[in-house]
């Protein structure tokens, strides 16, 4: 898959996407990387530990998060995108579902738009991505947990997202999918576990799959642990996800997840 000038072999090997939140209220690392120097230092550390993509976000998506204006989000992310692109040779993902923010981020050099609403929030976003030629990660989400048959409805929702992408002219080879693990993304604890278990359902679409579970409440609930003690649980989901066919893992703790992913790949490659 081409992400900007970079070609990632998402069919045969896994990659780590390092999370760089430049927000004051992220559920796990709020305010830690708000200054440009701190953000660049964290990006450098994650790249050194094995991150192949840096995902920059300017608005928290934790349950109950405070929405901010487009302009405020732009002011948070654009300087960081520009600085990371200037200082490091790495693809940059912008975590946003907003048209104006995506437009500014792409102009600043973002290579990938990571949309938590799967193109369903703003009808202008899909044509923008198509016109730019950027890669995109399209996540499962919905406003209400009103499923009749969870897994069947999940797959229908993903088909709708892909129809929107196709109608806008986004090329299939520019799309990766994200199952949207998280209570904030209209899933109960049990449904989050279920979609991780059944991640291979997404193979139907023949597209790369990104798994983002890092430090999330599903891990905290399963292990009865606070947010700063969920590294091992995250690693377990990375290994499970790689065995189920996911090839991108969006995480905070790059080193441990990178090593676990490579170990899983070694086992998968064995005779």
Mean pLDDT for 154-179 is 98
**Catalytic residue flag (residue 216):** yes
pLDDT digits over 72-129, tens only? 999 999 999 999 999 999 999 999 999 999 999 999 999 999 999 999 999 999 999 9
For the chain, the straight-line distance linking the first and the last C-alpha, in angstroms and rounded, comes to: 27
CATH code, 2-269: 3.20.20.20
How far apart, in whole angstroms, are the C-alpha atoms of residue 140 and residue 157? 7
This prediction has a pTM of: 0.94
d(CA 13, CA 30) in angstroms, rounded, equals 31
pLDDT at 22 over 90: yes
- DSSP bridge pairs for 18: 54, 251
Q: To which residue do tokens 């016109």 refer?
A: 131
**Dist. CA 214–CA 233, nearest whole Å:** 8
Q: Which residues of 243-263 are buried (b: 16+ CB within 10 A; e: fewer)?
A: ebbbbbbbbbbbbbbbebbee
Distance CA 257, CA 69 (A): 33
Confidence band, pLDDT 50/70/90 cuts, at residue 136: very high
pLDDT, position 32: 60
What pLDDT is attached to residue 24? Answer: 75
Task: Tell me what pLDDT residue 79 has.
Answer: 97
State the average pLDDT over residues 53-73: 85
Domain boundaries, the chain: 2-269
Q: Distances in Å between the alpha carbon of 231 and those of 13, 18, 55, 176? A: 22, 14, 19, 25
Using one digit for the tens of pLDDT, what is the confidence trace for 204-232? 999 999 999 999 999 999 999 999 999 99
Per-residue pLDDT at 65 exceeds 70: no
Q: Find all residues with CB under 8 Å of 267, minimum gap 6, and list them.
A: none
Quick one: pLDDT at residue 194?
A: 98
User: Which candidate in 250, 255, 259, 262 is catalytic?
Assistant: 250
| Chain centroid to CA 5 | 19
- Among 120, 216, 230, 242, the active-site one is 216
Q: Is the pLDDT at 27 greater than 80, yes or no?
A: no
* Better pLDDT: 190 or 33: 190
Q: Is the pLDDT of residue 185 over 50?
A: yes
> Can you tell me the distance from the alpha carbon of 51 to that of 144, in angstroms, rounded to the nearest whole number?
34
Q: Helix 150-168 and helix 125-132: axis angle, to 10°?
A: 60
The least confident of 21-25, 87-91, 166-170 is 21-25
Annotated catalytic, 45? no
Other beta carbons within 10 angstroms of residue 28's beta carbon come to 16
């Amino acid at each position: 898959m081409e992400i900007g000038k970079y070609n990632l072999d998402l069919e045969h090997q896994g990659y780590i996407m390092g999370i760089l939140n430049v927000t004051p209220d992220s559920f796990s690392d709020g305010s830690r990387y708000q200054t440009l120097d701190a953000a660049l230092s964290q990006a450098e550390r994650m790249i050194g530990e094995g991150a192949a993509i840096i995902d920059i976000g300017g608005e928290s998506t934790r349950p109950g998060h405070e929405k901010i204006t487009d302009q405020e989000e732009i002011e948070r992310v654009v300087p960081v995108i520009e600085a990371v692109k200037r200082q490091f040779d790495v693809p940059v993902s912008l975590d946003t579902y907003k048209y104006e923010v995506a437009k500014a981020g792409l102009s600043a050099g973002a290579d990938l738009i990571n949309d938590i609403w799967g193109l369903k929030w703003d009808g202008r976003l899909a044509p923008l991505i198509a016109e730019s030629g950027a890669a995109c990660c399209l996540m499962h989400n919905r406003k209400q947990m009103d499923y009749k048959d969870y897994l069947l409805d999940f797959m229908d929702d993903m088909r709708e997202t892909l129809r929107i992408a196709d109608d806008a002219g986004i090329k299939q080879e520019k799309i990766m999918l994200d199952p949207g693990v998280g209570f904030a993304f209209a899933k109960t604890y049990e449904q989050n576990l279920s979609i991780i278990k059944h991640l291979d359902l997404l193979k139907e679409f023949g597209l790369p799959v990104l798994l983002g579970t890092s430090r999330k409440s599903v891990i905290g609930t399963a292990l009865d642990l606070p947010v700063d003690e969920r590294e091992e649980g995250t690693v377990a989901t990375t290994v499970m996800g790689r065995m189920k066919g996911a090839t991108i893992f969006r995480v905070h703790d790059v080193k441990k997840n990178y090593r676990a992913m490579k170990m899983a790949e070694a086992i998968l490659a064995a005779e």
